[in-house]
Amino acid sequence: MNKYHDTPIKPEDFAYDLIQWHKKNPRPMPWLETKDPYQIWISEIILQQTRVAQGWAYYQRFIQRFPTIHTLYAADETEIIKYWEGLGYYARIRNIIKTANVIVGQYNGHFPKTYDDLLKLPGIGPYTAAAIAGFAFEVPTPVLDGNVLRVVSRLLAIETPSQNQKTKQQIYHFLHQAIQKTLPSSFNQALMNYGALVCTPSNPNCPTCTFQHRCISLLKNIVASIPAKKIKMEKKERYFHYFVLTDPKQKTTLLSQRNEKDIWRLLFQFPLLEKEDDLSLDMNSIVSALKEMGIEVSSPHLHSVEKHHQLLTHQKIHFHFYDIRTEFHGTKTQTKYFKVNLTEVKSYTLPVILIKFLKSKII
Ligand code: SF4
């Protein structure tokens, strides 16, 4: 008799085999040993766009300084953002602050216990809501992250991109049935681990896989093409020209706080000209641009120009850093730029790319 099945595995059989595998292959996740929804929330948000090795150090520092929702709520916003410096994607920390206000203001400091109520909180999407509900409150809601989508897509041989809404619903439906008779925290943990350890993005370990005789992709020999890739949206190209002014006598530079709603809101930066092209500016053009910003320079010397770029989710930003040695002062009474001693620049929360640039400089 053929030991391979060409009908999809039943959700309850999948759950049973997965949990058995998990018992034999535990993978301790220190931040998931707690049942505290606050700590689970912070860890999940940090790990959204950060590797575990880097995120873990940030998580520990953050929890040490803000051990409860109340300490976070009472803290100064600038200090909280400082603890996020280097993690990038600052919308995450701004949403953490907003959510802390909601939890303390509306829920008396207690996290809501249902998936739907968690989903209404700022910055908490389906994945994080499911993780908090499952890990903290044992609500039977499956988590859907990239690992999980991949495992189920392969197992059921779903050939549409796993990011499609319909595909997600199909996978969610399967897992929702599977999780019902399990301990949700164990099921979700096992599922995520399976994707990270066995059914990995490339070279999945099919010969040792618990589901090898039930995996339709393996049976059809299409594992390598699943999950199907989504057609990528083109990234928007942007050109940031930063004027890093250094007054060698006074040992000062100029900063401003970003208020634009697109990226890095409330972070600090050097005077910035956003242009439509990647062409470097000469000194005359720089002086004119600075004048437009209300900054007057005398005898400027262009020490160097450095180019970098950074890929964000929907955009690619090209940077020009103009290292300019000059005396400077404001020409307008109301200007958003302020002088900062070179030794104090690092105490401001700056975007990662600016920190990297500074590290290669004297300041
Ligand atoms: Fe993934 Fe291979 Fe297991 Fe299928 S047999 S679930 S592709 S590891």
Low-confidence stretches of the chain (pLDDT < 70) are 1-5, 30-32, 231, 331-334, 362-363
Which of 33, 44, 79, 85 is flagged as catalytic?
44
- Among 9, 21, 151, 221, name the best residue to mutate to test ligand 1's pocket (greatest count of ligand atoms within 8 A of Cβ): 151
Tokens 């739907």, residue? 116
Kindly report the protein residue whose alpha carbon is nearest to atom 1 of ligand 1. 199
* Residue of 5, 147, 154 with the most ligand 1 atoms within 8 Å of its CB, for mutation: 154
- Give CA–CA dist 326/296, Å, rounded: 10
Nearest CA to ligand 1 atom 2: 206
Residue 154 near ligand 1, beta carbon < 6 Å: yes
Distances 19 to 31, 173, 229, 252 between C-alpha atoms, Å:
20, 19, 29, 60
Over the Cα atoms of the chain, what is R_g?
A: 25
Residues 188, 182: contact at Cβ < 8 Å?
Answer: no
Locate 36 and state its tokens.
């505290």
- pLDDT per residue over 41-97, tens digit each? 999 999 887 777 788 889 999 999 999 999 999 999 989 998 998 887 788 999 999
For residue 89, what pLDDT is reported? Answer: 76
Q: Considering only CA atoms, which residue is closest to atom 4 of ligand 1? A: 215
CA of 108 to the centre of ligand 1 (A): 45
* CB distance 211 to ligand 1 below 6 Å: yes
**Residue 79 annotated as catalytic:** no
Model pLDDT for residues 154-173, shown as the tens digit of each residue: 999 999 998 888 999 999 99
Q: Please report, for the chain, how many H helices and E strands are present, in that order.
A: 14, 7
* Whether residue 209 has its Cβ less than 6 Å from ligand 1: yes
What is the structure's pLDDT at 293?
Answer: 92
Q: Which two tokens stand for residue 236?
A: 């928007």
**Does residue 50 have its Cβ closer than 6 Å to ligand 1?**
no
Q: What is the residue with the minimal CA distance to atom 6 of ligand 1?
A: 155
pTM of the model: 0.68
Q: How far apart are CA 55 and CA 88, in angstroms?
A: 11
* CA angle 45–26–129, rounded 5-degree value: 25
